[in-house]
Structure 1
Amino acid sequence: MSDPAESEIVVGVDGSSSSKAALRWAVRQAGLTGAGVRAVAAWEFPAFYSWEGGPMPPEEFEQTARKSLDDAVDEVEHQTVGPVRISREIMHGHSAQVLLDAAEGAELLVVGSRGHGSFYGALLGSVSQRCAQHARCPVVIVREE
């Protein structure tokens, strides 16, 4: 096991209640192990977006992801007892791949589960499922509280 001062728990944050539950879980675990937490949010252009125009200008996609990440981390930080360092990172790309890349070298990857049924999970694909299958570190999947 590596030095706790260098240990990192990566957690995916998208503003959903399940991702906030995952962030809370990751912070509690970090408090127990002395690890740091890296909260990661991904953003990408939706499939229906075109350069001629869309629901919002391109730069607003990243700004929206950043605000969602900041709001979630701020909320959890106010509930945290003890010193746990939480860093924030916004990355462009598909959520699952962003988290897999971010978790390279991490002690643990924590993601929320939206709890879609098997039909919708198969149809839409599952970020948590892809992370569990392809991560090079242990993965914890947290359901909404």
Structure 2
Amino acid sequence: MMSGPVVVGVDGSPSALAAVEAAAQEALMRGARLHVVHAFIWPAMHVPPGGSPLGPPAGGVRESVEHVLAEAVERALAAAPGVVADHAVIPGEPVTALEAESRTAQLMVVGHRGSGGFAGLRLGSTSVHLAAHSHCPVMVVRDRPVKDGPVLVAVDGPRHSHGAIAFAFQEASLRGADLVALHVWGTWSDHGDTRPLDVVDLIGDVETLQAHEEQLLDEALSEHRREHPEVPVRARVVRGRTRPTLIEASRGAQLMVVGARGRGGFTGLLLGSVSQAVLHHAHCPVAVVRSGLT
């Protein structure tokens, strides 16, 4: 297991507070410190840290930030009693600040949209940037997970999905959950409303292709099964369109894990249409793991 804290970015929004709860539980499971951070660009804005002489004494920017952090830490301790938590205000633009924090973290947790100091912390900006550039896995918290559901990992072959699979096995072990490994095949083009190009249309032998894809999935999982014999694994190979298949599968999961890049149906994952669809529409938190991070 990686060292370093679990880091969560907060701004006082409901989405960020949900992320704090998830991050606190992750830190407690991992035996890690929880580091609650708020990024703000007040030095560049020339905003006085104290209250306005014309307003209430507790109405300044610093007081507001301290309230945000205090509320977040209180929420963390309530969600995961016993977790060790600290907090910090980081001067600078949120995307840059969080990316820098990820260098020493074992996990970065963010909400799916934000406000205030994290203005723009919504899908398509900060969370997607972190998913593509973070130096540790990133968990984007959206919707309430099914607490007794499995961990779901999207698998795209042994080489491309190694980091995501390793992280998913680790999460399933920590949570005492089953692991569902889902491999989607058959669609080469999965964009918009146009009819996707199916490999079966070109080759035609469905049984042979299905057997080949099942073998790929088995190869991708074999090493991790040996390392985590305690994790019950259900392998699923589905012929279909990547985006709707992954989104539908997320309904019963407590966490969905994806790699940062892929091939075939997963090309451009987290930088293209599949990533946008998963992060916008998954029915549970989504963890993104870049290659080489685990």
Tell me how far apart the structure 2 counterparts of residues 48 and 7 of structure 1 sit (CA, whole Å): 31
Residue of structure 2 in register with 1:69 after alignment? 217
User: What displacement does 1:57 show?
Assistant: 2.3
Residue of structure 2 in register with 1:136 after alignment? 283
Residue of structure 2 in register with 1:21 after alignment? 163
Which sections of structure 2, spanning at least 5 residues, go unmatched? 1-144, 189-196
User: What displacement does 1:76 show?
Assistant: 1.3
Tell me how far apart the structure 2 counterparts of residues 49 and 27 of structure 1 sit (CA, whole Å): 30
Q: Number of residue pairs matched?
A: 136
SS at match of 2:230: coil
Residue of structure 2 in register with 1:40 after alignment? 182
Residue of structure 2 in register with 1:88 after alignment? 235
User: What displacement does 1:43 show?
Assistant: 1.4
- Specify whether residues 76 and 101 from structure 1 end up closer, same or farther in structure 2 by C-alpha distance, changes over 3 A only: same
User: What displacement does 1:83 show?
Assistant: 0.8
- What is the aligned-residue identity percentage? 32
Q: How do 1:122-133 residues align onto structure 2 when only pairs under 5 Å count?
A: 125-133=272-280
User: What displacement does 1:58 show?
Assistant: 2.8
Tell me how far apart the structure 1 counterparts of residues 288 and 212 of structure 2 sit (CA, whole Å): 24
SS at match of 2:247: helix
Contact 2:257/2:289 (<8 A) preserved: yes
RCO comparison, higher one (Cα < 8 Å, 6+): 1
Could you tell me which amino acid in structure 2 is paired with residue 90 of structure 1?
V
Contact 2:268/2:275 (<8 A) preserved: no
Q: How do 1:95-134 residues align onto structure 2 when only pairs under 5 Å count?
A: 95-114=242-261, 121=268, 125-134=272-281
2:59 equivalent to 1:59 = no
Contact 2:154/2:258 (<8 A) preserved: yes
User: What displacement does 1:49 show?
Assistant: 4.6
SS at match of 1:35: coil
SS at match of 1:104: helix
User: What displacement does 1:15 show?
Assistant: 0.4
Contact 1:22/1:142 (<8 A) preserved: yes
Taking structure 2 as the reference length, what is the TM-score of the superposition?
A: 0.41
- Specify whether residues 57 and 35 from structure 1 end up closer, same or farther in structure 2 by C-alpha distance, changes over 3 A only: same
- Specify whether residues 56 and 36 from structure 1 end up closer, same or farther in structure 2 by C-alpha distance, changes over 3 A only: same
CA deviation map 1:13-60 (0-9, x unaligned): 110534221111011011111111100111115427575xx3562322
Could you tell me which amino acid in structure 2 is paired with residue 95 of structure 1?
T
What CA RMSD, in Å, does the superposition of the two structures yield over aligned residues?
2.8
SS at match of 1:103: helix
Contact 2:186/2:199 (<8 A) preserved: no
Counterpart selection for 1:7 from 149, 155, 159: 149
Tell me how far apart the structure 2 counterparts of residues 105 and 58 of structure 1 sit (CA, whole Å): 28
- Specify whether residues 95 and 45 from structure 1 end up closer, same or farther in structure 2 by C-alpha distance, changes over 3 A only: closer
